[in-house]
Amino acid sequence: MAEPLLELHGVSRRFRAGDTEVRALEQVSLAIRRGEFVAIMGPSGSGKSTLMNVLGCLDRADAGSYRIGGRAVAELDDDALAALRRDTFGFVFQRYHLLPGESALENVEMPALYAGVPRAERARRATALLARLGLADRIRHRPSQLSGGQQQRVALARALLHDPEVLFLDEPTSGLDPAATRDVVELIGALASEHGRTVVLCTHFLGEAGRLADRMAVLHRGVLHAFGRPEAIAADLWDGLDARVDVGGPLGDDAARAVLALDGVAGVAPLPEGAVIRVADREVLPVVVRTLVEAGLPVYGADARPPSLEDVYFAVEARIAAAEGRDPAPRAADLLGHRDGSW
Q: What integer pLDDT is reported at residue 333 of this predicted model? A: 39
The DSSP annotation for 265-294 comes to EEEEEEETTEEEEEESSGGGHHHHHHHHHH
Q: What integer pLDDT is reported at residue 336 of this predicted model? A: 39
DSSP state of 18: T
CA quadruple 312, 318, 321, 327: dihedral positive or negative? positive
User: Is residue 45 left, alpha or beta, with left meaning phi > 0 and alpha meaning psi from -120 to 50?
Assistant: left
Per-residue model confidence as pLDDT tens digits over 299-308: 999 988 777 8
Do 38 and 215 contact (CB within 8 A), yes or no?
Answer: yes
Q: What integer pLDDT is reported at residue 330 of this predicted model? A: 58
- Mean pLDDT, consecutive 10-residue stretches, the chain (343 aa), reads 88 89 94 94 90 93 94 92 89 86 94 85 92 91 92 90 89 78 81 80 83 91 93 82 92 94 92 92 92 94 84 86 77 41 35
CA quadruple 24, 28, 32, 36: dihedral positive or negative? negative
The CA distance from 243 to 343, in Å, is: 14
Per-residue model confidence as pLDDT tens digits over 307-336: 788 888 888 888 888 888 877 665 543 443
CA distances from 146 to 111, 207, 337 (A): 21, 26, 46
Amino acid type, 266: A
Q: What integer pLDDT is reported at residue 154 of this predicted model? A: 92
Q: What integer pLDDT is reported at residue 337 of this predicted model? A: 39
The DSSP annotation for 103-171 comes to -HHHHHHHHHHHTT--HHHHHHHHHHHHHHTT-GGGTT--GGGS-HHHHHHHHHHHHHTT--SEEEEES
Do 191 and 160 contact (CB within 8 A), yes or no?
Answer: yes
